[in-house]
Amino acid sequence: MTLEPAIHPSWKEELSEQFSKPYFLQIKKTLLEEKKQGILIYPPGNLIFNAFNLTPFDEVKVVIIGQDPYHGTGQAHGLSFSVPFDTKAPPSLKNIFAELHDDLQLEIPGHGNLTSWAKQGVLLLNAILTVQASKAASHKHIGWEEFTDGAITKLSEKRAGLVFLLWGKFAEAKKTLIDENKHYVLTAPHPSPFSAHSGFFGCKHFSKANEILQHEGYNPIDWQLQTKAVSE
pLDDT tens digits for range 61-91 = 999 999 999 999 999 999 999 999 999 999 9
What pTM value is reported for the model? 0.95
Torsions phi, psi of 216, nearest 5? -85, 0
Question: In terms of Cα–Cα distance, which of 10, 36, 14, 35 is closest to 130?
Answer: 35
Average pLDDT over residues 147-167: 98
pLDDT, mean of residues 97-126 = 97
Which residues partner with 34 through β-bridges? none
Look at residue 147 and tell me whether its pLDDT is greater than 90: yes
pLDDT tens digits, residue range 193-219? 999 999 999 999 999 999 999 999 999
CA distances from 216 to 56, 136, 170, 212 (A): 19, 37, 27, 6
* 3-class secondary structure, 146: helix
Average pLDDT across the chain, whole number: 94
Band (5; pLDDT cuts 50, 70, 90) = confident
pLDDT at 92 over 50: yes
Catalytic, 68? Answer yes
Helical pair 91-104 and 205-215, crossing angle rounded to 10 deg: 60
**pLDDT bracket for residue 14 (50, 70, 90):** very high
SS3 32: helix
Asked if omega into 43 is within 30° of 0 (cis), the reply is yes
Under DSSP, is residue 186 helix (H, G, I), strand (E, B) or coil?
strand
Nearest alpha carbon to residue 107 among 115, 116, 98: 98
Q: What is the pLDDT of residues 48-64, one digit of tens each?
A: 999 999 999 999 999 99
Instruction: Tell me the CA distances in angstroms from 98 to 143, 196, 197, 213, 230, one per residue in order.
Output: 34, 10, 11, 22, 17
- Cα–Cα separations (whole angstroms), residue 111 to 54, 84, 93: 19, 8, 10
Catalytic residue among 58, 68, 102, 222: 68
The average pLDDT across 19-45 equals 95
Residue 232, pLDDT > 50, answer no
> Does pLDDT of 2 surpass 90?
no
Residue 207 one-letter amino acid? S
Confidence of residue 226 (pLDDT cuts 50, 70, 90): confident
206: left (phi over 0), alpha (psi -120 to 50) or beta: alpha
pLDDT of amino acid 4: 64
The answer to whether the beta carbons of residues 48 and 68 sit under 8 Å apart is no
pLDDT in tens, 212-224: 999 999 999 999 9
**pLDDT(1) > 70:** no
Distance CA 190, CA 170 (A): 9
